[in-house]
């Protein structure tokens, strides 16, 4: 079984489908999506359709992002002007230019999305957290809106490693820290949509056009060796519990 986190999709349906093809998930794998499925990219409807397909035949966990919150609010009657200015226009266009074309199944999907997700070893969250609060007591401002370059949190009191998105990495690379990993690699801005395997560290990156990123052979060898060593370490730790 693999646990694979997937960063902010932001309407890039070709990237999402290319990433899923590259990962080739089985029924025993779990995919954890970190939110921001809509806005900015060209095909938010296509992204939501893809996620609904995955939900029907794959173990999938979907977190809620700030753009998903805004989109859901507009559907329910909030003033759309701010949303349209910060990425909502392409989303609306993908639904034929009118909110009336947004079916209830999309709203139901967003309502099912979680504020965070925890395993025995990891915490998954869209944006940020306060290190001294249990996850169920986290303020919404931190969970959905606060960027890491505004406030980098300390290690969480649970001792678990945190995986997040929301803060786009302008170099297209995963941001790795001892207690936190950010995998928003700015696909909508011309970089990559990233998937990251928690158990092995294996990484997949796909462009907005759906093309898998090919790294130099030495980098691929280095990453393979690191993933193998990480996998051995995790198995040894589990055996010692």
Each residue of 80-93: pLDDT tens digit?
A: 999 999 999 999 99
Neighbours of 107 (CB within 10 A): 14
Structural tokens at position 145: 């809106």
Would you say 30 and 4 are in contact if contact means Cβ atoms under 8 Å apart? yes
- The fraction of the chain above a pLDDT of 90, given in percent, is 86
Look at residue 223 in the predicted model and tell me its pLDDT: 58
| C-alpha separations of 228 from 65, 232, 239 in Å | 32, 6, 17
Q: Return d(Cα 95, Cα 108) in angstroms, integer.
A: 16
210: left (phi over 0), alpha (psi -120 to 50) or beta: left
Q: Long-range contacts: 100-103, Cβ < 8 Å, 24+?
A: 102/75
Nearest to 14 by CA among 184, 192, 166, 183: 192
* DSSP β-bridge partners for residue 125: 116, 164
pLDDT in tens, 41-99: 999 999 999 999 999 888 999 999 999 999 999 999 999 999 999 999 999 999 999 99
Helix, strand, or coil here: 175?
strand
Q: Return d(Cα 9, Cα 171) in angstroms, integer.
A: 17
pLDDT in tens, 185-236: 999 999 999 999 999 999 999 999 999 998 655 455 555 566 666 555 545 5
Q: Return d(Cα 162, Cα 156) in angstroms, integer.
A: 8
| C-alpha separations of 18 from 118, 148, 160, 241 in Å | 27, 28, 30, 38
- Beta-sheet pairing, 180-182 with 161-164: parallel
pTM of the model: 0.89
Would you say 185 and 19 are in contact if contact means Cβ atoms under 8 Å apart? no
Task: Look up the CATH architecture of domain 3-215.
Answer: 4-Layer Sandwich (3.60)
Would you say 235 and 228 are in contact if contact means Cβ atoms under 8 Å apart? no
Q: Return d(Cα 52, Cα 60) in angstroms, integer.
A: 10
């Amino acid at each position: 079984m693999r646990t694979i986190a997937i960063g902010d999709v932001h309407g890039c349906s070709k990237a999402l489908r290319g990433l899923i093809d590259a990962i080739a998930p089985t029924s025993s794998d779990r995919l954890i999506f970190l939110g921001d499925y809509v806005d900015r990219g060209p095909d938010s409807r296509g992204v939501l359709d893809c996620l609904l397909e995955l939900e029907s035949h794959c173990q999938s966990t979907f977190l809620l992002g700030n753009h998903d919150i805004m989109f859901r609010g507009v559907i329910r009657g909030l003033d759309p002007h701010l949303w349209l200015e910060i990425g909502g226009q392409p989303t609306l266009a993908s639904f034929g230019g009118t909110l009336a074309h947004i079916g209830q199944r999309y709203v139901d999907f967003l309502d099912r999305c979680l504020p965070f997700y925890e395993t025995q070893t990891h915490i998954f969250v869209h944006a940020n957290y306060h290190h001294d609060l249990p996850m169920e007591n986290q303020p919404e401002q931190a969970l959905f809106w606060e960027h890491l370059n505004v406030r980098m949190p300390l290690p969480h009191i649970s001792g678990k490693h945190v995986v997040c998105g929301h803060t786009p990495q302008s170099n297209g690379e995963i941001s790795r820290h001892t207690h936190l990993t950010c995998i928003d690699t700015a696909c909508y801005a011309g970089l990559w949509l990233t998937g990251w395997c928690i158990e092995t560290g294996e990484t997949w990156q796909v462009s907005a056009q759906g093309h898998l990123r090919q790294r130099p052979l030495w980098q691929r060898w280095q990453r393979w060796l690191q993933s193998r060593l990480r996998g051995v370490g995790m198995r040894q730790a589990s055996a010692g519990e």
